[in-house]
Amino acid sequence: MRVFQIQDDWGMDHLQLATRPDPKPGPGQVLLKMKAASLNYRDTVVPNRGYGSFTGNLPLIPISDGVGEVVEVGAGVTRVKVGDRVCPCFHQGWIAGEPNLERLTQTLGGPIDGTMADLMCLSEQGVAKVPAHLSDEEAATLPCAALTAWSALVTYEDLRPGSRVLVQGTGGVALIAIQFAKLIGAHVTVISSSDEKLARAQRLGADAGVNYRTTPEWSKPARELTGGAGFDHIVELGGEKTLPQSLRCIRPGGTISMIGVLSGSALSAPLGLVVTRQVRLQGITVGHRDGFEAMLRAIDQHNVKPVIDRVFDFAQLKEALAYLKSGAQFGKICIRH
């Protein structure tokens, strides 16, 4: 089978198209013929061993998200059958419950081989059936980006109709977060560096937008959109440069979900605001399979369709990763197998 793998040494130059023997499912395992993959910011970090020892060993097949068709099952498999279309779960060992080190470190695309392969062999416990109305590319976006947004807004939060939510940016997590927040009935504000992207976000359902390039101190006009009360929940994707402003426009008792560190990973923020306003600052690392399947039911019931920016062919993985790093996209970047 074809694979893309990081081999010989770490670094993007060592990401190569190669072949491996076809896998066979053992007891409790399923064999997937992969249909599509999608990219996340994490996938630009893994080739450079950006997660240290938790990145895994070489050779390593990268990319965390994808969708495939079950083509063979091992003895004792009952969760899925041949012909089902399923997504591999990002956290292969986190089925439910609270996170711990073991549950958080059995992840696809490093240290476990990822989705850039013609075939994948996984435990039946590590896959979930996807809604029929989604294309392969749309389904491939769900395991990381969509579940991250769902975990922030639903699994670890109690938003209600009328809640005020701020979402940073217009990448994959941000756009599906807008869609989920609107399902709840929340009022959604988006910040972006592009008026065009803000307009597209509003067509997707966002209620208001602030351009942080033309208004660098965006927290003030954003807070004014809440009547001065502040936001109930902020989907924090920027990190170092955006967290200080998020703290200025979160309401007392509100929640900031720390998902990304796109503007830097150092912490330089007025921490007194966390204490005096009793703000909850929570990290989100995708989520568990129970949450994933709850999200899939909601996507199915409400006919939610993730936003796809561009689709590349299997052999164009490096070009797709370069496009992701450019930040030009609106929505998800996918790979067709």
Write the CATH number for 161: 3.40.50.720
Confidence of residue 24 (pLDDT cuts 50, 70, 90): very high
Q: Decide which of 283, 300, 318 is a domain's last residue.
A: 283
Segment 297-323 mean pLDDT: 97
What is the residue-averaged pLDDT of the chain? 94
Question: Is 312 domain-assigned?
Answer: yes
One domain, residues 96 and 45: yes
Quote the pLDDT of residue 266: 60
Segment 286-310 mean pLDDT: 97
Q: Tell me the per-residue pLDDT of 123-179, one tens digit each, with 9 for 90 and over.
A: 999 999 999 999 999 999 999 999 999 999 999 999 999 999 999 999 889 999 999
Q: Decide which of 239, 262, 283 is a domain's last residue.
A: 283
Helix (DSSP H) and strand (DSSP E) numbers for the chain: 11, 15
Q: What is the span of the domain harbouring residue 133? A: 2-144+287-336
Domain CATH for 45:
3.90.180.10
One domain, residues 54 and 179: no
Quote the pLDDT of residue 260: 65
Pick the closest to residue 155 from 46, 264, 257 (CA basis). 257
One domain, residues 273 and 292: no
One domain, residues 293 and 279: no
> Kind and range of the H or E element at 224?
helix 219-224
Tokens standing for residue 46: 């893994």
Cβ–Cβ under 8 Å, residues 190 and 178: yes
Segment 276-290 mean pLDDT: 92
Question: Is 240 domain-assigned?
Answer: yes
Give the chain's domain count: 2
Question: Is 151 domain-assigned?
Answer: no
Quote the pLDDT of residue 261: 57
One domain, residues 103 and 206: no
One domain, residues 332 and 293: yes
Burial classification of residue 304, based on how many CB atoms lie within 10 Å of its CB (0-12 exposed, 13-18 middle, 19 or more buried): buried
One domain, residues 134 and 176: no
One domain, residues 16 and 127: yes
Question: Is 267 domain-assigned?
Answer: yes
Question: Is 150 domain-assigned?
Answer: no
The amino acid at residue 307 is V
Residue 104: count of CB within 10 angstroms of its CB: 14
Segment 303-309 mean pLDDT: 96
How far is it, in rounded angstroms, from Cα 288 to Cα 21? 30
One domain, residues 98 and 138: yes
Question: Is 149 domain-assigned?
Answer: no
Question: Is 28 domain-assigned?
Answer: yes
pLDDT at 45 over 80: yes
The amino acid at residue 165 is V
One domain, residues 317 and 220: no
pTM of the shown model: 0.94
Q: Tell me the per-residue pLDDT of 167-205, one tens digit each, with 9 for 90 and over.
A: 999 988 999 999 999 999 999 999 999 999 999 999 999
Confidence of residue 121 (pLDDT cuts 50, 70, 90): very high
One domain, residues 130 and 108: yes
One domain, residues 120 and 185: no
